[in-house]
């Protein structure tokens, strides 16, 4: 599902948005940012699970329960809350424990930007956004590194955000 959200964000155009003409760009940008944020959360959860780490919180009041992040083996014998997973900020903060690879320098910046995108677009719509193309490039760098180090896949991505910018989403 992360792939779906990222691909949607990469290729979404104002022409795809069904809203009043004067709101098309704002709505397109909001949708792109929200899709990037949701995709990032799903990708990080998949990364944790792929590497044997649980994403569910431990039920309160269990003496000796390990601190997050913990492997499924470490949490064996403790009850977890099936409906409560760790928040995106926790997943970003502890990623270095799950993937202690040296190729992840600079990844947290892109992931934190994606978290801000998700949080802002998920809670409020502002009439304007300060557009910083470097934010999208930082997210792309983070995603490329995560796909490689988490799933041994080569990702080529470009979120089309500027006029005439070509979108790209390809996984090999």
| pTM, full prediction | 0.93
Residue 61 pLDDT > 90: no
| pLDDT per position as a tens digit, 23-42 | 999 999 999 999 999 999 99
| DSSP collapsed to 3 states, 20-57 | CHHHHHHHHHHHHHHHHHHHHHHHHHHHHHHCCECCEE
More confident residue, 130 or 20: 20
76-117 pLDDT, tens digit each: 999 999 889 999 999 999 999 999 876 787 799 999 999 999
Whole-angstrom distance, CA of residue 13 vs CA of residue 32: 9
- The CA distance from 49 to 19, in Å, is 38
Please give the pLDDT value at position 101: 72
């Amino acid at each position: 599902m992360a792939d779906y959200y990222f691909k949607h964000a990469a290729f979404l155009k104002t022409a795809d948005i069904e809203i009043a003409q004067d709101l098309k760009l704002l709505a397109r940008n909001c949708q792109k940012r929200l899709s990037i944020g949701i995709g990032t959360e799903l990708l990080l959860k998949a990364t944790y699970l792929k590497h044997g780490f649980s994403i569910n919180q431990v039920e309160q009041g269990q003496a000796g329960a390990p601190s997050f992040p913990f492997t499924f083996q470490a949490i064996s014998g403790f009850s977890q809350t099936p409906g409560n997973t760790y928040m995106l900020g926790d997943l970003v903060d502890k990623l270095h424990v799950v993937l202690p690879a040296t190729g992840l320098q600079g990844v947290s910046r892109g992931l934190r930007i994606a978290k801000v995108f998700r949080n802002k677009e998920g809670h409020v719509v502002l009439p304007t956004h300060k557009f910083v193309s470097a934010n999208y490039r930082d997210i792309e760098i983070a995603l490329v590194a995560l796909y490689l180090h988490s799933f041994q896949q080569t990702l080529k991505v470009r979120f089309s955000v500027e006029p005439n910018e070509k979108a790209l989403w390809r996984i090999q």
